[in-house]
Amino acid sequence: MKVPDADLAEVSDRKLIDYLLSESHPDGWSKARFFNKFGFKKSAPVTLKEALLAHIRENDFTSVNRTRFGVSYIVDGQIMTPIRRNVQIRSIWFIETETKIPKLTTAYPLKGKRK
């Protein structure tokens, strides 16, 4: 099943620039190296944003976690990279209680899942 209201999903520029594409971020540096290796760049974050938005729309969620704050969804599947390679990633999306908008929490490679 798809994440509810996936067509409304949001990916903040700050999440992309300061985390997923930042090799100096203490937690995001390894994700940045992965995404940079496949052509996603901090200077053009819209490319990764579009790939992540396509990822949530095109793939089913594999897990759901409900809390009093909202619901998180894990989505596994491939994305097409700027260097025209498909790679498997996991993205995590959160919908806060009382809202409908899935917001990206994180994304990272699925080990051993490159095509």
Alpha-carbon distance values, 25 to 16, 30, 70, 73 (Å) = 11, 9, 26, 24
Tally Cβ neighbours within 10 Å of residue 18. 15
Tens-place pLDDT, residues 1-56: 999 999 999 999 999 999 999 999 998 899 999 999 999 999 999 999 999 999 99
Alpha carbons 72 and 86: distance in angstroms, whole number: 25
Residue 33 vs residue 111, higher pLDDT? 33
- What is the rounded average pLDDT of the residues 89-94? 98
Where are the chain's structural domains?
6-109
Closest CA to 94 of 77, 74, 78: 74
Q: Is the pLDDT at 114 greater than 60, yes or no?
A: no
